[in-house]
Amino acid sequence: MSRIQQFIERNLILLGISLTVLLMIVSSALSWYNKQEMLRTTAIKLQAEELRKRIDDIFTQHITKMDLGLRGYALTQNEQMLIPYTSSIQMNKGTMAKVDSLLHVQNLDTSRVQFGKIREAVNTYISHCDHMRDLAKEGNTEEFLALLKLDKGYDLWKVYSPFASRHRAYVDVVIQKAQADYEAAMSRNLIVQAILLVIGLPILGLVVRKLTIDAASRKKLLSDLEENNEKYLFNPGNSDRDESYEQVVATSIQNFKEASTLVKAMSAGNFEVNWKGLTEANKELNKETLAGELLQMREQMKLVKAEDERRNWTNEGLARFSEIVRNNQNNLEKLSNEAISFLTKYLKAQQGSLFVVQGDGKDVVLEMLACYAFDRKKFIQKQISAGSGLVGQAYLEADTILLTDVPKGYIEITSGLGDATPGCLAIVPMKYNDMVEAIIELASFERFEDYQIRFLEKAGEFVASAILTVKTAEHTARLLQDSQEQAEMLKSQEEELRQNMEELAATQEEMYRKERDLEERLRMLERK
Segment 28-84, tens digit of pLDDT = 777 777 777 767 777 777 777 777 777 777 777 777 877 778 778 777 888 887 788
- For 109-154, strand residue ranges (E) read none
Least confident interval from 302-311, 417-426, 500-509 = 417-426
Q: Which residues contact 343 (CB under 8 A, 6 or more apart)?
A: 321, 349, 352, 440, 442, 456, 459
Strand 383-385 relative to strand 365-372: parallel, antiparallel, unpaired? antiparallel
Residue 357 — φ and ψ, nearest 5°?
-70, 130
Q: Is the pLDDT of residue 391 over 80?
A: yes
Least confident interval from 6-15, 127-136, 438-447 = 6-15
Q: How far apart are CA 411 and CA 184, in angstroms?
A: 115
Give bridge partners of residue 365 from the DSSP assignment: 358, 385
Q: From the DSSP assignment, how many helices (H) and strands (E) are in the chain?
A: 12, 8
Q: How far apart are CA 212 and CA 219, in angstroms?
A: 11
Q: Are 262 and 275 in contact (CB under 8 A)?
A: yes
Q: Mapping DSSP to helix (H, G, I), strand (E, B) and coil, where does residue 86 land? A: helix
Q: What is the pLDDT of residue 379?
A: 46
Residue 416: pLDDT band by 50, 70, 90 thresholds? very low
Q: What is the pLDDT of residue 231?
A: 65
Q: How far apart are CA 106 and CA 45, in angstroms?
A: 11
How crowded is residue 344: how many other Cβ atoms within 10 Å of its Cβ? 22
What is the enclosing helix (H) or strand (E) of 413? strand 413-415
Of the ranges 84-88, 135-139, 292-296, 396-400, the best mean pLDDT one: 396-400
DSSP state of 58: I
Residue 109: pLDDT band by 50, 70, 90 thresholds? low
Q: Is the pLDDT of residue 452 over 80?
A: yes
Q: What is the pLDDT of residue 9?
A: 55
Q: What is the pLDDT of residue 431?
A: 87
Q: CA 230, 234, 239, 240 torsion: positive or negative?
A: negative
Q: What is the pLDDT of residue 417?
A: 41
Q: What is the pLDDT of residue 110?
A: 66
Write out pLDDT tens, residues 313-350. 999 988 998 888 888 878 888 888 888 999 999 988 88
Q: Is the pLDDT of residue 493 over 50?
A: yes
Q: What is the pLDDT of residue 380?
A: 45
Structural domains in the chain, CATH included, are 3-205 (1.20.120.1730), 245-310 (no CATH), 332-470 (3.30.450.40)
Q: What is the pLDDT of residue 235?
A: 66
Among residues 324, 333, 368, 341, which one has the least CA distance to residue 462? Answer: 324
Q: Mapping DSSP to helix (H, G, I), strand (E, B) and coil, where does residue 427 land? A: strand
Q: Are 354 and 342 in contact (CB under 8 A)?
A: no
Q: How far apart are CA 511 and CA 513, in angstroms?
A: 5
DSSP state of 285: G
- Distance, C-alpha 416 to centroid of its chain: 51
Arithmetic mean of pLDDT, 105-123: 73
What percent of the chain is modeled with pLDDT above 70?
Answer: 81
Q: What is the pLDDT of residue 410?
A: 66
Helices 245-267 & 290-327 angle (0-180, nearest 10): 10
Q: What is the pLDDT of residue 298?
A: 73
Among residues 210, 200, 206, 193, which one has the least CA distance to residue 21? Answer: 200
Question: Hey, what amino acid is at 163?
Answer: F
Write out pLDDT tens, residues 180-230. 777 777 777 778 777 777 777 777 777 777 777 777 777 777 676 666 776
Q: What is the pLDDT of residue 486?
A: 77
Residue 377: pLDDT band by 50, 70, 90 thresholds? very low
Q: What is the pLDDT of residue 70?
A: 74
Write out pLDDT tens, residues 243-282. 666 777 777 777 777 777 777 777 776 766 776 767 666 7
Q: CA 208, 210, 213, 216 torsion: positive or negative?
A: negative
pTM equals 0.47
- Cβ contacts of 253-260, under 8 Å, gap ≥ 24: 255/229, 255/290, 255/291, 258/234, 258/291, 259/233, 259/290, 259/291, 259/294
Q: Per-residue DSSP letters for 349-408?
A: -SEEEEEEEESSGGG-EEEEEEEES--GGG----EEETTSHHHHHHHHHTS-EEESSPPT
Arithmetic mean of pLDDT, 440-451: 88
Q: What is the pLDDT of residue 471?
A: 74
Q: Are 5 and 15 in contact (CB under 8 A)?
A: no
Q: Is the pLDDT of residue 241 over 50?
A: yes
Mean pLDDT of the chain: 76
Q: Per-residue DSSP letters for 169-230?
A: HHHHHHHHHHHHHHHHHHHHHHHHHHHHHHHHHHHHHHHHHHHHHHHHHHHHHHHHHHHHII
Residue 104: pLDDT band by 50, 70, 90 thresholds? confident
Q: What is the pLDDT of residue 264?
A: 76
Q: Are 392 and 385 in contact (CB under 8 A)?
A: yes
Among residues 476, 440, 475, which one has the least CA distance to residue 457? Answer: 440
Give bridge partners of residue 430 from the DSSP assignment: 438
Q: Is the pLDDT of residue 415 over 60?
A: no
Q: What is the dihedral of CA 197, 199, 204, 210, to 10 degrees?
A: 180
